[in-house]
Copies of this chain bind each other. A is one copy, B any other.
Amino acid sequence: MTTLWRDQPVGLVGLGLIGGSIGLDLRAAGLEVRGWVHRQATAERASQRGLASQVGTDPAVLAGCGLVVLALPLDRLLDPAAELIAALPNGAVITDVGSVKGPVLQAWHGRVPRFVASHPMAGTAAAGVEAGQRDLFRGRPWVATPLADTDPEALAVVRELATLLAAQWLECAAAAHDEAVALISHLPVLVSAALLQAAERGSAAAVAGGVPALVRALASSGFADTTRVGGGNPELGTLLARCNREALLDALSDYRGCLEQLEGLVAQQRWAELEATLAACQQLRPPFLKP
């Protein structure tokens, strides 16, 4: 019975934003939660915040867990420490929270028998042991990317976890997931970063032309919004581009085609078509937004 996993402790490897938020919700639901972290100071703070019932820097803390969530940064998830592998309880269901699924499956499929690749699509700008919060996953998608030989009972356990956290369960192929997040998350970072670069070069040219700080002075909320993700964490942006390179390059190519089409309408002064295209874009956006 899949529901039995709740009677055993749930292990969390990492108690940052995702791990800590899972811990808080699971403990509120009355489950026993064991957290493994690297540093003693983190362990102490995580205990103070109640992110897990028991927190340790020794992987032995995971002993007896029926479900272990690998809530690690993507690079550490893709290159797991030997002591982590050794500490995972035999027979436990193992899942991850990585934001690119193809490489995670390459790294983990076959390494542990009951592995389920999954990705809760929730987050804030915060990170670290202070970042975990209640209800982070409520109403947010939790995507699993099972393979043909993924243990169906293990998949059901992870689904129950997601449901317990009030997330919206989705299943798809890893490639479809990775293409989707390339379009939705990783492409916008580069699109937005390039806008910052273009504006900065224009600003520098204006200053050189004797117009001090004009471009910067004129920037308003529209520019601020469009450049937010391009001005985000550079390590994370690079890591995601590296781990999802093929899908990102495809998305960039699609994007370039769309932008060139718009540019062509402006160059050729096809104003009625430009207006129709922008009107279509106006209609496109609401379904992408959360209710």
- A residues lining the B interface (CB < 8 Å): 121-123, 140-141, 143, 168, 170, 172-173, 176-177, 179-181, 183-185, 187-203, 206, 209, 211, 214-220, 222-235, 237-238, 241-242, 245, 248-249, 251-252, 254-259, 261-263, 266-267, 269, 271, 274-279, 281-282, 284-290
Identify the 6 closest CB pairs spanning chains A and B, nearest first: A231-B285, A234-B278, A194-B259, A194-B258, A234-B279, A197-B258
The one of B196, B199, B237, B249 that contacts A267, using a Cβ cutoff of 8 Å: B249
Q: Is the CB of B262 within 8 A of A223?
A: no
Give chain B nearest CB distance to A202 CB in angstroms.
Answer: 4
| A176: nearest chain-B partner, CB-CB | B211
On chain B, the residues within 8 Å of A281 by CB distance are 193, 196-197, 230-231, 234
On chain B, the residues within 8 Å of A211 by CB distance are 172-173, 176, 180
Number of copies: 2
Given the known inter-chain contacts A141-B218, A217-B170, please indicate yes or no for A206 contacting B187, CB distance below 8 A: no
The one of B187, B202, B215, B234 that contacts A282, using a Cβ cutoff of 8 Å: B234
Give chain B nearest CB distance to A283 CB in angstroms.
Answer: 8
Given the known inter-chain contacts A196-B285, A254-B198, please indicate yes or no for A185 contacting B215, CB distance below 8 A: no
Q: Is the CB of A216 within 8 A of B288?
A: yes
On chain B, the residues within 8 Å of A143 by CB distance are 214, 218
The one of B172, B241, B258, B279 that contacts A266, using a Cβ cutoff of 8 Å: B241
Q: Is the CB of A248 within 8 A of B266?
A: yes
Q: Is the CB of B172 within 8 A of A259?
A: no
Q: Is the CB of A226 within 8 A of B225?
A: yes
| Cα–Cα, bound, A132→B119 (Å) | 45
Give chain B nearest CB distance to A173 CB in angstroms.
Answer: 7
